[in-house]
Structure 1
Amino acid sequence: MIYDGGTYKMWYHGYDGHNTRIGYATSADGITWTKQGSAVLDIGGPNDFDSFGVSQPWVIKDGSTYKMWYTASDGLHLRIAYATSNDGITWTKQGSAVLDLGPYGAFDDSGVGAPTVVKDSVYRMWYIGNDGTHNRIGYATSTDGITWSRANNGEAVMKLGSTFDAQGLGSPSVLVFNGVYEMYYHGSNGVSQQIGYATSRDGIQWERSSSPVLRPSQSGFDWKGTRSPSYIREGTTLKMWYEGFNGSASQIGYATATITSLQGTYLSPPFDFGGRVQLGTLNWTTETPQGTSISLEVRTAVVGGVWGDWFTPTNGGDMSIEARYFQYRVSMQSDNITKTPAFKDITLNYYKPVDRVEASVDGGKWYVAEGTETWTIGIGMEDGKHTVRFRAVDVTGDYSDYWYRNVTVNANPPTGSIVINDDAMYTSSRTVQLKLSAEDTFGVKDMMLSESPDFSGATWQPYKNITAFQVSEGDGTKVVYVKFRDTMGQESEACNDSIILDATAPEGEIVINNGTEYTTSREVLLKFRASDNYELVDMAVSTDPGLK
């Protein structure tokens, strides 16, 4: 079935009680038909693959050429054949079947037939395959319409269903619309045939309707079965021609359907909050099967009711808008009539605008923070742990629940002191004793010692009250610096103490009686000479080498 040049053109098969042949008819309205006087495609010779019957034609017009794929029978098996024509009446057959039986054990190893072909980037054929028991739908592709390759690894792309098509599938009719393949086919439940509907994006994975779309009538020419559909789309009308069966004979019937709009919009009523509020997060949930979509837009109005422009919010985002009125609209779209998107729910969080924020420390006086969207407050607190409570006050004077934060104030660093060798002025040893004293609200944890005021090269070490320290080499004044660190990481200012290192002994000599070698008197004259880095304060004289 095609609509060509203002004329409906139908190729169909007829049965004379012995064989099936293909006929041709035309119509101006799709209802009143004029038959061609005789078959336009006859059976073949006695030994030909189509000697017993030709049936179930599918015709497309490719340029100026009519191309037909049809079912050929030799009385034992069904195969798919091909013919071409310049006028749709006089046909030239391809010499042999273009799609033969499938391999042994395949779903189509006993017969193939009832082809439907779509040409886009390649030729695509859906056909019926029989395994000797049931019919299923297979799929093949071709670059020229003659040499075909089975797709889906040779497996059926539509298998038996569970309801009206549980016992067999037949006569697919496929067209492509908006990038989606739409198939009408008939299904058998073992008692009657009924026409079903399915869609696919790749021609392999199909989603079928759970119930038939065209059932047999209660009485009349099609009370026993509706089958072998062929259809076209005209605007919002779908026109279908089908085989009606009454239990003994078949006739061609006609049905129409209005194509349901595949897009729509829902507009919510305006929501009035009764006064100015702050709009917060907006959340919504949807169900969008493949091939469907949903979009949401919102608008708001302040007191006075002047609506703003529609805009697209972010799902889960914070709107941060002050308004009194709120409205939304939902646009839904589907690529076929069997799939429907669902807008399930929408939740808008809102609250009255905040007039001020207040804070209180440890249950004391409430202080007002400064700000409009973010607030800042300064409250003096001593070192230690405190609980700060907050509350918001809206424009109507209502108070929020409290929320709080536990804070620890450590504004004052540790304080301390250092004493070297009990505050002695001199030392003759480089190793000195340091007495350290430090205090802090949170406890002193570490100390750092150095002879450099910038503590270069020094590292932190655990705090001790007494520790040994080795000063640098060389006599002179030695300054030792220390700083302390508390458990919160707060560092003290550096403090220091000093001591004079005098590790070098005085040098000197003694002369007796001006250097004479002998004396006759026990009393002698002693002359001394001595030097030192520091002032000499004492001397000891003795005839005992040990100065005892």
Structure 2
Amino acid sequence: MKNLATLYGLLAFLISTISAYAQHENYPDGRPAATRRIECRDQGIVLQYGDGKDSCDVYGAREAVLNKVGNTYYLFYDGAGKDGWKACLATSTDLQNWQKKGAILDLGDPTKMDAKSASSPWVIKDKDTWHMFYLGTPNATPAPDRVPAFPYLTMKAKAASLEGPWAKQYDVQPFTTKPNTFYAVTASPGFIVKHNNEYLQFFSGSAQDGKVVKRTVGIARTKNLDGSWDVMENPIVPLDEQIENSSLYFDKDQKMWYLFTNHIGINEKGTEFTDAIWVYWTKDIYHWQKENKAIVLDKQNCSWSKGAIGMPTVIQTGNKLALLYDAAQGESISHMKRNIGLAWIALPVKVSN
């Protein structure tokens, strides 16, 4: 009987292990996978593409970036419009019903580095001024999609209000790509936080490894938002992690930083796409470990998308985190025709094995 009980125990362990393993994505090229999860309840689509002012999002809505002033939420998102991808604005008081305001940035003229995209704006307020760091590129795929193409660069604008008007500062170059680094191909903006009397920006960097592009998040530092930024030599996690974009949340009780990011997966055909939202955590904002990560949202718990699930942004509302993200409906992995969804994470964040 003792041996039988031991056998049953071993079988139960093997079944639970196999079941857990089956729930985790295994990538055909061997890129690292996340094996833990946090509880995240998806509510579904809250902002649909297609009806923005002046056709600003006629082909899709992506890259949600959320801010709050008073009782109003300000959602910047990338509208795939008739002449390219531009930062658009929508406002809400409940995160679920949004009033679209249209594009808040224009494309630069053909001589400018944002001639083909002016998108993905991250902002921070200093005194009476809002400082914006947005993605610019002189390259894009052909019409009508006009998907921004490398290099992705960080560019600057400022305004007295989140609604603008935003004045571009072409004379300011926060940081840019650098050969033979983790940000050799892209150096695009991310979440900004003031910490220890300096500003930290968690930006997206990528580098070419043979025919493969590898991606991660790095930290740039400055004390002057209208000046240049110093990039820390090493990214927060290795390029093999294949992550991009960032949204930070600090739990004051746990004294823990959480960084939400989208992961780039790959299918059996060798096509890469944004397949999940991951979270990393640390108590030292300058130092992160690749082992401390978990899946937040993917095809298992997203109610309407089983394909491409993209960039997250989080904000605390009461005892929950609201998470906005972009995704393509059904099993599509396209860059186009994406909508913005809303999901909820109970606080404190709990990681399951």
TM-superposed CA distance for 1:98, in Å, is 2.8
Partners of 1:145 and 1:241 in 2: CA distance: 26
TM-superposed CA distance for 1:69, in Å, is 1.2
CA gap of 1:18–1:218, structure 2 versus 1, over 3 A, is: farther
Partners of 1:219 and 1:123 in 2: CA distance: 34
Partners of 1:29 and 1:180 in 2: CA distance: 27
Deviates more, 1:110-119 or 1:93-102: 93-102
- Is contact 1:72–1:78 with CA below 8 Å preserved after alignment? yes
CA gap of 1:237–1:60, structure 2 versus 1, over 3 A, is: same
How many pairs were matched up?
A: 258
Bigger radius of gyration:
1
Which among 203, 211, 228 is matched to residue 127 of structure 1?
203
- Equivalence for 2:144: none
- Equivalence for 1:95: 170
Pairing 1:177–2:263 present:
no
TM-superposed CA distance for 1:60, in Å, is 2.7
TM-superposed CA distance for 1:126, in Å, is 0.6
Structure 1 gap ranges (5+) = 261-335, 341-548
TM-superposed CA distance for 1:82, in Å, is 1.6
TM-superposed CA distance for 1:119, in Å, is 1.7
Pairing 1:247–2:333 present:
yes
Pairing 1:46–2:110 present:
yes
Q: 1:169 is aligned with what amino acid? A: I
- Is contact 2:158–2:168 with CA below 8 Å preserved after alignment? yes
Deviates more, 1:74-83 or 1:206-215: 206-215
Partners of 1:64 and 1:129 in 2: CA distance: 30
TM-superposed CA distance for 1:34, in Å, is 0.2
Q: How does 1:340-351 map to 2 (within 5 A)?
A: none
- Is contact 1:115–1:126 with CA below 8 Å preserved after alignment? yes
- Equivalence for 1:156: 235
TM-superposed CA distance for 1:149, in Å, is 3.5
Which among 129, 133, 137 is matched to residue 73 of structure 1?
137
TM-superposed CA distance for 1:130, in Å, is 1.4
- Equivalence for 2:90: 25
CA gap of 1:78–1:210, structure 2 versus 1, over 3 A, is: closer
Partners of 1:112 and 1:83 in 2: CA distance: 17
Deviates more, 1:204-213 or 1:15-24: 204-213
Partners of 2:218 and 2:347 in 1: CA distance: 27
What SS does the aligned partner of 1:104 have? Answer: coil
Q: 1:156 is aligned with what amino acid? A: P
- Equivalence for 2:281: 199
Choose between structure 1 and 2 for higher RCO, CA contacts under 8 A separated by at least 6 residues: 2
Pairing 1:229–2:309 present:
no
- Is contact 2:280–2:293 with CA below 8 Å preserved after alignment? no
TM-superposed CA distance for 1:47, in Å, is 0.6
TM-superposed CA distance for 1:228, in Å, is 0.8
Pairing 1:238–2:302 present:
no
Partners of 1:247 and 1:221 in 2: CA distance: 13
TM-superposed CA distance for 1:177, in Å, is 3.2
The two structures, once aligned, show a CA RMSD in angstroms of 2.4
Q: How does 1:166-315 map to 2 (within 5 A)?
A: 166=241, 168-178=242-252, 179-191=255-267, 192=273, 193-207=275-289, 209-216=292-299, 222-245=305-328, 246-248=332-334, 249-260=337-348
- Equivalence for 1:139: 219
TM-superposed CA distance for 1:55, in Å, is 1.5
TM-superposed CA distance for 1:188, in Å, is 1.7
CA gap of 1:87–1:224, structure 2 versus 1, over 3 A, is: same
Superimposed CA distance per residue, residues 511-547 of structure 1 (whole angstroms, 9 cap, x where no aligned partner): xxxxxxxxxxxxxxxxxxxxxxxxxxxxxxxxxxxxx
What SS does the aligned partner of 1:147 have? Answer: coil
Taking only the aligned residue pairs, the percentage that are identical comes to 21
Q: 1:158 is aligned with what amino acid? A: V
Partners of 1:3 and 1:219 in 2: CA distance: 25
TM-superposed CA distance for 1:221, in Å, is 5.1
Superimposed CA distance per residue, residues 197-241 of structure 1 (whole angstroms, 9 cap, x where no aligned partner): 112333332145443111135887532122210110123111011
Deviates more, 1:94-103 or 1:63-72: 94-103
CA gap of 1:101–1:95, structure 2 versus 1, over 3 A, is: closer
TM-superposed CA distance for 1:244, in Å, is 0.9
Partners of 1:202 and 1:67 in 2: CA distance: 26
TM-superposed CA distance for 1:5, in Å, is 1.1
Pairing 1:9–2:74 present:
yes
- Is contact 1:172–1:185 with CA below 8 Å preserved after alignment? yes
TM-superposed CA distance for 1:150, in Å, is 3.4
Partners of 1:173 and 1:44 in 2: CA distance: 27
TM-superposed CA distance for 1:97, in Å, is 5.5
TM-superposed CA distance for 1:71, in Å, is 0.8
Bigger helix share: 2
- Is contact 1:82–1:94 with CA below 8 Å preserved after alignment? yes
